[in-house]
Amino acid sequence: MGAKMRLTAAERGVEVLEAAVQAFGASGYEGTKTDEIARLAGVSQPYVIRLFGTKQQLFLAAVQSVCDRIEQIFREAAEESPELRTLGHNYERLLAEPELLLVLLHGFSASRDPAIGDAVRERFGRIYSLVRELTGASPTEAREFLATGMLLTVMSAMQVIGPDAASLPWAEELTSTLGDTK
Amino acid sequence: MGAKMRLTAAERGVEVLEAAVQAFGASGYEGTKTDEIARLAGVSQPYVIRLFGTKQQLFLAAVQSVCDRIEQIFREAAEESPELRTLGHNYERLLAEPELLLVLLHGFSASRDPAIGDAVRERFGRIYSLVRELTGASPTEAREFLATGMLLTVMSAMQVIGPDAASLPWAEELTSTLGDTK
DNA sequence: CCTAGTTGTAATTCACTGATAACAAGTTCG
DNA sequence: CGAACTTGTTATCAGTGAATTACAACTAGG
């Protein structure tokens, strides 16, 4: 394990942010304690606050971070082949880092907080536009693509898909259809 | 307004449960304070706890309640015409009571709590089965139907559709495609 | 080497929140 | 009526969790 050495504030900030993404993804905005993030990052709770100001600002940073990563994954997938089908195939890559979609989901759930709502609306709109730009998909096709993503997201939150999934018949039946088109 | 008269515990429980559905739908499980539910229901906070035991049990009751209502809406829609298209058309009816899908969403988000996770998995699986039974839809069709529902749910949470929606171009473009099939 | 700035923690605060206890008022029924 | 039960409140508690302050330890540059 890394010896606990001194880092610059910027470097430590990155580590704390990564811990925050994991923690918020698992427990949501209200459900995650800053102390838990601190323990994950291996620093004291007050230092987490000092680095990011408030818990809300840390959550916003986490949302921005996961959205950047999601966009990056879509761009990489589109580079291989700029078709929706390819992007869809790459949901696997998103589900390999479940915290990405989960943080986003918890952002939706916390949208009543005006600052969080603004951020989430802006980023989700941007993802919609990006999908269309990258693939040339029609609004309808992009809608179906995002809808599938949202279903996978909530199933991931329910823990019926992903690493710690209890295997349920209906969940497997549902995911087995992911390649099909009606 | 109704004079504050004495009711039986069962009757008052119904009122508190309705208030809880509204409050949990708006602010989520962790984000909702029992005191807020109490004020909405017009009773004292300790009485809310006495009627339902714990906040968690009250949330579980709210989840059960909204799932019952969702199933009821699907059944009614299927009675008119047992086709997926009809059911889809009736998302309007679900969106007319936004708290239904929002409570469910917050249930997904709170699924790490084992009791909540169990309830949510069970009810969502049941809704999937119900949709297939009522309409004879294939797994793929049912998946697309539920995926659309999840997209609408998160858009409702983001407040880009529904009563208090700030109108955003991408959101309107997206919802305008709801009738279309690829 | 020593002063100024930076990284980090321990101790503490302060508001909040779910839950309990004690009690008051109304109702039911023999 | 009046004892037993039910409905509901007020007062309070114990725990928690975000945020502040004060301080310690390390580092760099003149």
Q: For residue B41, what are its two tokens?
A: 């229901």
Q: Does the beta carbon of A37 lie under 8 angstroms from any beta carbon of chain B?
A: no
Least CB-CB distance to B109: which of A28, A170, A173? Answer: A28
Give the range among A23-37, A102-116, B74-88 with minimum mean pLDDT.
B74-88
pLDDT for A64 beyond 50: yes
**CA atom of B46 to C1′ atom of C20, Å:** 9
| Residue-wise DSSP of A45-103 | HHHHHHHHSSHHHHHHHHHHHHHHHHHHHHHHHHHH--SHHHHHHTHHHHHTSHHHHHH
B167 touches chain A (CB under 8 A): no
Instruction: Please report residues of B whose CB lies closer than 8 A to that of A124.
Output: 158
The predicted structure's pLDDT at residue A181? 75
Nearest to A182 by CA among A148, A131, A134, A133: A148
Write down the residue that tokens 């169990």 correspond to: B118
B173 and B179 Cβ atoms separated by less than 8 Å: no
By Cβ distance, the residue of B108, B112, B166 closest to A27 is B112
B98-148, pLDDT tens digit by residue?
A: 999 999 999 999 999 999 999 999 999 999 999 999 999 999 999 999 999
Q: How far apart are CA B31 and CA B48, in angstroms?
A: 17
Q: Which residues contact A111 (CB under 8 A, 6 or more apart)?
A: A117, A120, A121, B157, B158, B159
For residue A44, what are the CA distances in angstroms to A6, A48, A62? 13, 7, 19
Positive/negative CA dihedral, B85, A138, A177, B100:
negative
A151: helix, strand or coil: helix
Q: What amino acid is encoded at A152 in this protein? A: L
Q: Which nucleotide is nearest to A13 (CA to C1')?
A: C7
Given a cut of 70, whether residue A115 has pLDDT beyond it is yes
| Residue B34 dihedral angles phi and psi, to the nearest 5° | -60, -30
- Give the SS3 label for residue A31: coil
pTM attached to this predicted model: 0.96
* Contact: A182, B181; criterion CB under 8 Å: yes
pLDDT at position A1: 45
* One-letter amino acid for residue A87 of the chain: L
Strand D at less than 7 A from CB of B46: yes
CA distance A8 to chain B (A): 34
